Amino acid sequence: MNYPQLDIYLNRIKENASKLRQELDGKNIKLTAVVKGFAGNLNVFKAYQEAAIKSIADSRIENIKKFREAGYQDEILMLRIPMPSEIKEIVPYIDASLVTEAKTAELISKAAEAAAKIIDLIIMVDIGDRREGILAQNLAELAEKIEALPGVKLKGIGTNLGCFAGIIPDQKNTFHLINLKRELENKLGRELEILSAGNTATIRLLKEQELAREVSNLRVGEAILLGTDIINQSLINGYHHYNFRLQAEIVELKEKPSNPEGEMAFGGQGRGQIIEDKGLRRRAILAVGKQDIDYHGLYPELEGVDVLGASSDHLITDVTDAAQDLGVGDILTFKINYSAMLRAMTSQYVSKNYIE
């Protein structure tokens, strides 16, 4: 075994992907599986192919190229608004892109013409989360500019919620997006095929038939990979949960005072951890750190273990109340959230163990 190690349950991911695809198909909603979370890993991607996923989204040209070179011929959406500097390179590999800038649309248009293809464009609208997106009052102007461009087709509009400010998708903001689409269709004099209403956090709204009828696309990553919905702080019923597990090795185990000693940096703020004086405690230091994981997203499987913090190479835990006796060289296992998974999959220092 090479530690730290990430155990990846491929069959569970495959079953989640297949289940969600079938559920959305039943509502006439197209699933675009967001695959950026596993950093172009072809072993994980195979699970998506086996689940008959026909539309994927990624943010990195390196990953997109790998999927094409591995033989994937179905739809690829450029999930992050493309950088002007990468548009010529990426257009031959993608079928669609999110856009918010006229300049970006114009560059995609030129590159698409040169590649003799049509790229579908989806305008992202900011309806509150303040990440990417054009403001509603500027939507029609951008749409009309795109309509006049060769090599591209305005496919629809979309939004993103929850990923920056943590704004939760609800009836109010989703119906606002629906109304924006209707108004834009009236101005353009044609129907738009796509209303891409959001991500994993939007799934719960589809229980309402009126909303489900209007939504035609969801871009979903977390629900498939982890069976969780971090924005609504819930596990998704009927799905496999926490399909990635981190294993890390204890390299030091000692009793130490819980309170730091000495002058604290940054005006007494230290490193930002909330440190409570609990007296003498048993601390285990593990060989994994911020370079490999987001320690805020680690949930110890062993009862009584508490994650205190991390530096670049070390994870600091309190094991005073651990349910079993521990020693140097022992392995602790953690369930992980999306952020921790993303970093672990990206880190070359975390070995990957595939479980069928």
The model's pLDDT over 184-238, given as tens digits with 9 standing for 90+, comes to: 999 999 999 999 987 887 887 877 777 778 899 999 999 999 999 877 778 999 9
Mark whether 36 is an active-site residue: yes
Mean pLDDT over each residue of the chain, to the nearest integer: 92
Angle of helix 139-147 relative to helix 171-188, nearest 10 degrees?
40
- State residue 279's pLDDT score: 85
Name the 3-class secondary structure at 39: coil
- What pTM value is reported for the model? 0.92
Calpha distance 276→292 (Å, rounded): 26
**Does residue 269 surpass a pLDDT of 60?**
no
Q: What is the mean pLDDT of residues 232-258?
A: 93
Instruction: Retrieve residue 321's tokens.
Output: 């109340």
For the segment 266-289, the average pLDDT, to the nearest whole number, is 79
Let me know if domain 10-235 sits in CATH 3.20.20.10.
yes
Virtual torsion, Cα 21, 27, 30, 36, nearest 10 deg: -50
Residues near 132 by Cβ (< 8 Å), separated by ≥ 6? Answer: 81, 98, 100, 124, 126, 160
Range with the poorest average pLDDT among 133-137, 241-245, 271-275: 271-275
- Whether 35 shows a pLDDT value over 90: the answer reads yes
**Considering the chain, what percentage of its residues have pLDDT values greater than 90?**
79
Q: Which positions ≥6 away from 47 have C-beta within 8 Å?
A: 10, 11, 13, 14, 17
Q: Which residue has the higher pLDDT, 39 or 205?
A: 39
Q: Are 115 and 152 in contact (CB under 8 A)?
A: no
Catalytic residue among 14, 19, 30, 36: 36
Token digits for 218? 């969801």
β partners of residue 300: 334
Give the pLDDT band of residue 328 (cuts 50, 70, 90): very high
- 149 alpha carbon, distance to own chain's centre: 31
Taking a C-beta distance cutoff of 8 angstroms, is the pair 113, 139 a contact?
Answer: no
| Domain boundaries along the sequence of the chain | 10-235, 244-355
Q: Once rounded to an integer, what is the mean pLDDT over residues 151-167?
A: 84
| Model confidence at 318: pLDDT above 70 | yes
Q: Which residues pair with 196 in a beta bridge?
A: 158, 217
Domain 244-355 has CATH 2.40.37.10: yes
